[in-house]
Structure 1
Amino acid sequence: MNGDYTKPKFEKNEKTGMPRYIIDRDVYLQEKVIKETQYTARDKSLLVTIKDNFSQWKICAAILSLFPFINWIPTYPVKKYLVGDIFAGITVAVMHIPQGMAYGILAGVTANVGLYMAFFPTLMYVLLGTSRHISMGTFAVISLMTLKVVQTYATVEPSPSADGSIVEFTPIEVVTATAMCVGFILIIMAILRLGTLSTLLSDSLVNGFTTAAAVHVIVSQLKDVLGVSVPKHKGAFKIIYTIIDLGKATPNTNLTSFLFSLGLILFMVIMNEYVKPWLSKKCRFPLPAELIAVVGGTLISKYADFKSQNVKIIGDLPVGLPYPVIPRMELIQLVWVDAIAIAIVSYSVVMSMSLTFAKKHQYEVSANQELFAMGVSNIFGSFFSCIPLACSLSRSLIQEQTGGMTQIASVISASLILIILLWIGPFFETLPRCVLAGIIIVALKGMFTQAAQLKKFARQGKLEVCTWICTFLGVILIDIDIGLFIGICVSFLALYIKGWRSSCALLGSVSGSNIYVDLNYHKAAIPIPYTKIFHYQGSLNFATRNAFKKSLYGAIDVDHRKIRRASLIGDKNGGSKLLNDFRILIIDLSSMWHLDVAGSAILTEILKEMQLLNVKVYLANPMDRVYDTLVHSMALGEGPFEILPTLHDAVLYARSIDNS
């Protein structure tokens, strides 16, 4: 050591033809390694860490990190990317029209709000976001979660406040306050560097949640398909009550709405399942089936006079852009709990899609910057009548498949949406709501087919299946936010159980080499004479210490009761007879990722009990953080432990001491 690197010596094995290496060095104790490598323990306080970080903070670097587009826009390859981005932007704009209108109504507000979502917050995300391929705007699950907030706090009639004044919250005031609250939550998460929080939401949780949310979405659209009115329910089991009310209202079905919806759903299925795949082989531009349905439905409704047949239509669509209005601050304290759930779900969806595209196209996405970008975009959108922001799975896939390479595609899409908002909007005023309901139902096919992944979760383990079922049933039977909370709790419990679980094995060497493997699975491995090597994988703390000791004694075949009996009578020789000439115990800590003081205490207890049996105990190959805990514990009177830096050093050292 001391800065010198000794190259291993090689010689050829004449029998096998494989190279053999020869290492000529002393056996190292961990203490010597620590001294010669000048190891520094992790003892920095939180204040010191914050000071170090801020001392390295540069103003220019901060600006560049807050506005990622500054990094890539100067080197934008116009000839290579521009045509694809324009083509993708036009395609996504075509999809934004029916989806935005449908999901705007799904959120409990007017259809034009969904179009605002494709313009205001989307442009802000272009400036601040790090993903180049996702299509921001409306998303079915987020719209449904927003609808729940609208149904809870939007007042149909004025209601008295605590001081006797009249308070009334319109749906648009509720959704803008929710969007602003979601934005603040996401920015706080970005400041606290909680970008990795979404990774705590397991695939089984997200799958079960979105599948159950799709059921909620379909049930909410059935009233428009049937052309009936049903009471709005709040709280637990509302989906059950809604289904019962729909059953009671079935005799009052509007046949025009029902038949028109069935025809449109059949048209969309044929287009999506047969025509689109065939056409995709002929040209790059995907068939705009949704737009055809919207335009066709609008024209049929206008000339067939559906309004006179009591078919519900969209109604007034104001021309132009909304004036900026500050959301009502008194609503923030009412909606913040629901906003937390919306923020977590929207961020998880955005990050999952962003990471998928980033991996495919080999660029990086910053988790914390995405939090900041979504937070600012939501706050900016809340001033312009927008609901909480998310990315659409279908639009993002189409944007990438049609050649979109950067967020320039979103700029093109937003520009076309602006044209619709300024001049074309009133054309869609006669669009039947049953058309949008049919589009939503067909679009949810992907969310239902993902339930087939339950088989994959079953192969992964029972905990994943339990998480999926609990989340799904919680969302279906109780409510969306409560079901999500149940799913998160079950997922965290499963994560804890997985972390609590440990595995252990006795190791032997491969043909007398320095390679050590599990004796249970490698039958030809050779046990080390007079030595037991116990490999432990897991954490050793106050919760697992008893299980660790039980596993250790079970593996080396020692009866703890007999050890205690030998200690009571002071019979060391009688105790050693229990071990069948076993004199050395080596505990391999290479896979122990956490050790606390209670874990060190149980190691001391094992050390003392092994001394009663004339067995020497050595610890091998600890991680730095585990070594720090061992040193700290020895300073508090635990141990003393003899620690070796590698397992092979421990075997050689133990045998040399034993032979001497």
Structure 2
Amino acid sequence: MKNKMNACVRHCMDLDYFCFYSILGLQKSLQLLPQKEGNNRLQMEKNLSLQIHLEQKAHVKKDAKTVLKDKIKRRCSCSKGRLKKQFVDFLPVLQWLPKYRFKEYIWGDVMSGLIIGIILVPQAIAYSLLAGLKPIYSLYTSFFANIIYFFMGTSRHVSVGIFSLMSLLIGQVVDREVQLAGFDQSEYFNKQNVTDISPANFNITEHSMDQEYEKEHFAVGVAAAVTCLAGVYQVLMAVFHLGFVSVYLAEPMLDGFATGASLTILTVQVKYLLGIKLPRSQGFGTLVITWINIFKNIHNANVCDVITSAICIAVLVGAKELGDRYKQKLKIPLPTELVVVVVATLVSHYANFNEVYGSSVAGEIPTGFIPPKVPNFAMMYRVALDAVPLAIIGFAFTVSLSEMFAKKHGYTVRANQEMFAVGFCNIIPAFFHSFATSAALAKTLVKDSTGCQTQVSGVISAVVVLLVLLFFAPLFYSLQKCILACIIIVSLRGALRKFHELPQRWYVNKTDALIWIVTMLSSALISTEMGLLVGVVFSVICVIGRTQHPHIAVLGQIPNHTFYEDVSEYENLCLMQDIKIFRLQAPLYYANKDFFQKFIYKMSGVNPILEITKKQKAEREFKKQAKLEHRVKAVCNNAQTVCSNERNETVMHLVPNHWGFHTLIFDCSSIPFVDTAGISVLKGILRDYKEIGISVLLAGCSPSVIDSLQRAGYFGKNDENRNTSLFCTVHSAVLYAEDSQSREADSQV
């Protein structure tokens, strides 16, 4: 009895294993079975594989009006709990600040905040050159951005503040509007250091100072207007959940854009290095025009500025290289910029570079805060388009950096809230004479490496900037502008080093490298804003191009297995006899439907349309010949004619298929979706090949593709042909094709 039970158990286990593997279509399962029953069980495997049937779940469709009403009801519902949650979500500081671990976090936050503040002060003063504004406004921007992001940001490590790329975009808008307003005529005179205040020149000096004052206020008004509008765009994007726009800003495109803009920034700063008085070029080709003007005026270079710039760059680059080499041993980064600024200011002040050598200096930087002012709404109409790239670039850099450091440290950020935060970091400071900000990678890396734990470090940095605003700003009066230009140029090292990565980028992915090159060249040679547009359009074109001419693989079987792979990529694959298998590795839609159809016709060696045409032509010729013979042999009796016709039809019927295959199988596992144009092509291929006696089978379709095919009636009325046209795996389709062909051959015999 016990032996019988064991035998029964073994038999059941054997049957379970067999059923499991046969459903998957794995020939490896045959190794578990006795050799003498191999042929019978192979036949069973075929039968079971052909009987696989998956029944889709019935998805209940919800009424669109009901869904919309429910969403509006949830969004517009007002309760005490919901209002509290919305308020806390809007100000994330209320969530994390009560949980602040003082003893654990305070040291790292204070150290990183102090270091960022020390780095921020000279950079803020330097970036004012890019923005075309006085240094005091850059300090305002840095102060307010850190405070606002402390309350609204969800990232613990991102440093939000003045950014070279944003400053460049602001500067281009400011210079254009200042020039259009007519202030450019006195630009050269206003920038000269007027030391002669004799009665003869007093009226001219007073007039020039009034013009300079008006020009400064007009420039600040332009910057505030475009900044406020960019912030409004960002807030609206957050309200309507338009963060998906960043999806179209690919990493190679952003890197190329930053590198091209860095070349423009470097070009703009060269005139300060040489001490040449040049207006900033406007429009397309700024980089080329600026270099032409520089070489035309190279004889006017200020020797003092040139020597100072050379020494400053050598010191800054040397210190940066030493810092990079020994960053593991250094607990904190070297405050090189601050040391250079302090030393250069002292030397310039006591050596009187401004008066003796005519070196251009930062000038008077007032202390305290200027009373707030509402941005000029009339100006917003003029700069509405200019604010768009500012808004997109600002939130793209902020969100990407926030997510990158959140992933590194194991916490989450809310992209929508980040858009709110960076939007209000632009709207509110615009009332306090500030300009556009975003997250900056270099300062964020420093912040992370110096032990930052929370945005308390941002408050510490704001306090450092506040001390400069209240007490130390006038001390930078004698700071040479060439020193500020050197700081900006050295800070571009990271972006300019992307040129060294180009060979590796080309090796990894040529399309991404091409996107980088096109975006970089368009940003540098055309204009910064146009470079962003060209980069986005070219990236989309590359995506469309890759799907318009996708790779279509011809599949062969792996020996002794039921898997099929690309014969152009792998050796020792077995091509199926009388069956051709193809795999499209892209969506099938209107852009690539013709390419797909032509490829199938070419690789199969049979164009069914031509064959149908030949067949129809042959039938017409046959009928014409038969009619002619009928007229000539009118005397023949009916019996002989019928016999002759039957013999001809029998001969035509028994002529074998000479295409070399009887079935086409499409592996659809790599097709994410099919549109109506793609379905029309599939239906046409099915119809045309069927007419010349070749079957077309589909395998591995996703549920969405199956649903599209069903809706288009691909499987016939009421899906009557679904079980004979659609299969779960390629091997199941192969087994079905072989079985159908063998049954057809048996029936003919």
TM normalised by structure 1 equals 0.88
Q: 5 Å matches for 1:251-650? A: 251-274=299-322, 276-277=323-324, 280-309=327-356, 310-511=358-559, 513-528=561-576, 530-560=578-608, 561-566=610-615, 568-569=617-618, 577-580=657-660, 582-634=661-713, 642-650=725-733
Instruction: Work out whether 1:91 is the aligned partner of 2:170.
Output: no
Q: Distance in 1 between matches of 2:462 and 2:171?
A: 25
Report the AA paired with residue 627 of structure 1: I
Q: Structure 1, residues 318-361: CA drift from partner, whole Å, max 9, x if none?
A: 21123221110111111121111122222232233223222221
Tell me by how many angstroms 1:31 deviates. Answer: 7.8
Number of aligned pairs?
642
Q: Distance in 2 between matches of 1:494 and 1:300?
A: 54
Q: Structure 1, residues 61-117: CA drift from partner, whole Å, max 9, x if none?
A: 544443333343333333332211111111100110111111122211111222112
Q: Distance in 1 between matches of 2:422 and 2:180?
A: 31
Q: Distance in 2 between matches of 1:366 and 1:650?
A: 47
Residues 363 and 575 of structure 1, relative CA distance in 2, 3 Å threshold = farther
Tell me by how many angstroms 1:54 deviates. Answer: 4.3
Report the AA paired with residue 453 of structure 1: E
Q: Distance in 2 between matches of 1:30 and 1:122?
A: 62
Residues 49 and 17 of structure 1, relative CA distance in 2, 3 Å threshold = closer
Instruction: Work out whether 1:210 is the aligned partner of 2:258.
Output: yes
Verify the 8 A CA contact 1:576 1:613 in the aligned structure 2.
no
Q: Distance in 2 between matches of 1:71 and 1:529?
A: 67
How much identity, in percent, do the aligned residues show? Answer: 29
Residues 522 and 625 of structure 1, relative CA distance in 2, 3 Å threshold = same
Q: Distance in 1 between matches of 2:466 and 2:516?
A: 41
Q: Distance in 1 between matches of 2:300 and 2:249?
A: 43
Report the AA paired with residue 650 of structure 1: A
Residues 252 and 519 of structure 1, relative CA distance in 2, 3 Å threshold = closer
Instruction: Work out whether 1:38 is the aligned partner of 2:117.
Output: no
Q: Structure 1, residues 219-243: CA drift from partner, whole Å, max 9, x if none?
A: 2112222222113321122332222
Tell me by how many angstroms 1:52 deviates. Answer: 4.5
Q: Distance in 1 between matches of 2:351 and 2:407?
A: 50
Q: Distance in 2 between matches of 1:60 and 1:574?
A: 82
Verify the 8 A CA contact 1:204 1:457 in the aligned structure 2.
no
Tell me by how many angstroms 1:382 deviates. Answer: 0.9
State which drifts further: 455-464 or 610-619. Answer: 455-464
Q: Distance in 2 between matches of 1:199 and 1:290?
A: 36
State which drifts further: 487-496 or 433-442. Answer: 487-496
Q: Secondary structure at the match of 1:73?
A: helix
Residues 418 and 461 of structure 1, relative CA distance in 2, 3 Å threshold = same
Aligned to 1:162: none
Q: Distance in 1 between matches of 2:297 and 2:478?
A: 25
Report the AA paired with residue 369 of structure 1: Q
Q: Distance in 1 between matches of 2:97 and 2:31?
A: 53
Tell me by how many angstroms 1:306 deviates. Answer: 2.1
Q: Secondary structure at the match of 1:594?
A: coil
Q: Distance in 2 between matches of 1:585 and 1:512?
A: 22
Tell me by how many angstroms 1:210 deviates. Answer: 1.6
Q: Which has the higher helix share?
A: 2
Verify the 8 A CA contact 1:265 1:438 in the aligned structure 2.
yes
For residue 176 of structure 2, the aligned residue among 137, 145, 152 is 152
Tell me by how many angstroms 1:18 deviates. Answer: 12
Verify the 8 A CA contact 1:100 1:111 in the aligned structure 2.
yes
Residues 303 and 518 of structure 1, relative CA distance in 2, 3 Å threshold = same
Q: Secondary structure at the match of 1:321?
A: coil
Q: Distance in 1 between matches of 2:118 and 2:575?
A: 69
Q: Structure 1, residues 528-550: CA drift from partner, whole Å, max 9, x if none?
A: 55433322211212222221112
Verify the 8 A CA contact 2:361 2:480 in the aligned structure 1.
yes
Q: 5 Å matches for 1:233-248? A: 233-248=281-296
Verify the 8 A CA contact 2:142 2:162 in the aligned structure 1.
yes
Q: Distance in 2 between matches of 1:387 and 1:48?
A: 45
Q: Distance in 2 between matches of 1:381 and 1:29?
A: 69
Q: Secondary structure at the match of 2:458?
A: helix
Tell me by how many angstroms 1:619 deviates. Answer: 1.9
Q: Distance in 2 between matches of 1:631 and 1:473?
A: 48
Aligned to 2:637: none
Q: Structure 1, residues 578-609: CA drift from partner, whole Å, max 9, x if none?
A: 322x3333222111112111211111111111
Aligned to 1:116: 140
Q: Distance in 1 between matches of 2:328 and 2:556?
A: 58
Verify the 8 A CA contact 2:50 2:735 in the aligned structure 1.
no
Aligned to 1:138: 162
Tell me by how many angstroms 1:563 deviates. Answer: 4.3
Tell me by how many angstroms 1:51 deviates. Answer: 4.0
State which drifts further: 260-269 or 394-403. Answer: 260-269
Q: Distance in 1 between matches of 2:572 and 2:88?
A: 59
Verify the 8 A CA contact 2:611 2:692 in the aligned structure 1.
no
Aligned to 1:68: 92
State which drifts further: 539-548 or 283-292. Answer: 539-548
Verify the 8 A CA contact 1:30 1:643 in the aligned structure 2.
no
- Unpaired stretches in structure 2, ≥5 consecutive residues: 1-12, 22-27, 34-40, 76-81, 184-213, 620-648, 744-749
Q: Distance in 2 between matches of 1:454 and 1:510?
A: 38
Q: Distance in 2 between matches of 1:568 and 1:192?
A: 61
Residues 325 and 155 of structure 1, relative CA distance in 2, 3 Å threshold = farther
Residues 576 and 350 of structure 1, relative CA distance in 2, 3 Å threshold = farther
Report the AA paired with residue 683 of structure 2: T
Q: Aligned-residue CA RMSD in angstroms?
A: 3.4
Q: Distance in 2 between matches of 1:73 and 1:298?
A: 40
Q: Secondary structure at the match of 1:583?
A: strand
- Unpaired stretches in structure 1, ≥5 consecutive residues: 1-5, 160-166
Q: Distance in 2 between matches of 1:645 and 1:382?
A: 60
Report the AA paired with residue 140 of structure 2: Y
Q: Distance in 1 between matches of 2:324 and 2:691?
A: 76
TM normalised by structure 2 equals 0.78
State which drifts further: 188-197 or 382-391. Answer: 188-197
Q: Secondary structure at the match of 1:610?
A: helix
Q: Distance in 2 between matches of 1:251 and 1:93?
A: 39
For residue 224 of structure 1, the aligned residue among 272, 281, 306 is 272
Aligned to 1:164: none
Verify the 8 A CA contact 1:505 1:555 in the aligned structure 2.
no
Instruction: Work out whether 1:105 is the aligned partner of 2:129.
Output: yes
Q: Distance in 2 between matches of 1:106 and 1:476?
A: 16
Tell me by how many angstroms 1:554 deviates. Answer: 2.9
Residues 649 and 197 of structure 1, relative CA distance in 2, 3 Å threshold = same
Q: Structure 1, residues 259-302: CA drift from partner, whole Å, max 9, x if none?
A: 1121111111221112x346645441221000001111111122
Verify the 8 A CA contact 1:567 1:612 in the aligned structure 2.
no
Residues 502 and 240 of structure 1, relative CA distance in 2, 3 Å threshold = closer
Q: Distance in 2 between matches of 1:261 and 1:350?
A: 32
Tell me by how many angstroms 1:654 deviates. Answer: 4.4
Q: 5 Å matches for 1:161-176? A: 170-176=218-224
Report the AA paired with residue 486 of structure 1: V
Residues 18 and 296 of structure 1, relative CA distance in 2, 3 Å threshold = farther
